[in-house]
Amino acid sequence: MSSLCDRFHIKFWGVRGSIPCPGTETVRYGGNTSCVEMQVGEERLIFDGGTGLRVLGQSMLSETPITAHLFFSHSHWDHIQGFPFFTPAFVAGNSFHIYGLPAPNGSTMQQRLHDQMLHPNFPVPLQIMQSNLQFYDIQAGEIITIGDVRVETGKLNHPGEALGYRVSFRDKTAVYVTDTEHFPDRLDENVLKLVREADVLIIDATYTDEEYYNPQSSKVGWGHSTWQEGIKIAQAAKVKQLVLFHHDPAHDDTFLDQIKEEAISVFPDTLLAREGLMITLPFND
């Protein structure tokens, strides 16, 4: 039986961007917004608090007391809207370390999570959460060490700013890079540095090139990328496994199946993120 020191598990609880889209046409990939869990060694890391965080929270209730580290890429609604419904945060004895980039106007992640739970937006304030919440303001380029886990941060190209995260443990690395827009004439050096030779890259692939460059409804400047650009990054950075993430709510299961088929034809080691997907990284030693 393997010990906790031998694990590097990645599980997807929410894979959508912009807004939840439950329904009969999104059953296979899921309709919850961004939330990815990594159980790495003895540590539990959670990336973003979209509506998938509520589902993750329900699965954790039998595990109390819980200690986890919650990293926000940024505070746009689809990445924080699950936090008020994260049941473990209301349970005394649990402990959550929460990391985020201060907004350009200076507001901290704590302030923004607090503000979304004020009247008239929500019936109870953040202060009613009985768990131990510790907040940390971090900056792009900062490195966070949690036990034997190393978390590097990098600047993303997104309105209002956002952070990407590189998680390293023993000889394996997984990178979470969502809500970033590619540049028209070059690959983003910040992203390339963060994802270099990663075992797994989870990347923003909200649009297709056709949607992004559509002259009637261009998505240029909206802060998101395409699956084609995600593959360019993966190829240039020598990534082993690519996971396309942050699906547009208008992309139903059939549309995503088509993207998956096209993407695999270009970069065979491609997965499309779906709720419940689990990736386990085996160690070499």
Residue percentage of the chain with pLDDT more than 70: 98
Q: What is the pLDDT of residues 203-234, one digit of tens each?
A: 999 999 999 999 999 999 999 999 999 999 99
Which pLDDT score is estimated for 4? Answer: 67
Q: Which of 2-6, 85-89, 206-210, 246-250 has the lowest mean pLDDT?
A: 2-6
Q: What is the mean pLDDT of residues 70-81?
A: 97
Residue carrying structure tokens 């900056």: 139
Decide if pLDDT at 1 tops 60: no
Q: What is the pLDDT of residues 161-195, one digit of tens each?
A: 999 999 999 999 999 999 999 999 999 999 999 99
For residue 226, give the DSSP letter. B
Decide if pLDDT at 280 tops 80: yes
Among the listed residues 17, 106, 91, the one whose alpha carbon sits nearest the alpha carbon of residue 57 = 91
Residue 285 CA to residue 283 CA, distance in Å, equals 6
Residue 155 CA to residue 197 CA, distance in Å, equals 18
Q: Which of 38-42, 83-87, 154-158, 280-284 has the lowest mean pLDDT?
A: 280-284
Domains observed in the chain? 4-280 (3.60.15.10)
**pLDDT grade for 5, boundaries at 50, 70 and 90:** confident
Decide if pLDDT at 236 tops 50: yes
**pLDDT grade for 9, boundaries at 50, 70 and 90:** very high
Q: What is the mean pLDDT of residues 123-134?
A: 96
Q: What is the pLDDT of residues 95-125, one digit of tens each?
A: 999 999 998 898 999 999 999 999 999 999 9
Which pLDDT score is estimated for 3? Answer: 60
First-to-last alpha carbon distance for the chain, in angstroms, is 16
Residue carrying structure tokens 């690395």: 173
Decide if pLDDT at 259 tops 90: yes
Q: Is the peptide bond before 120 cis (omega within 30 degrees of 0)?
A: yes
For residue 5, give the DSSP letter. G
Decide if pLDDT at 146 tops 80: yes
3, amino acid identity: S
Decide if pLDDT at 40 tops 80: yes
Q: What is the mean pLDDT of residues 20-43?
A: 97
Q: What value does the mean pLDDT of the chain take? A: 96
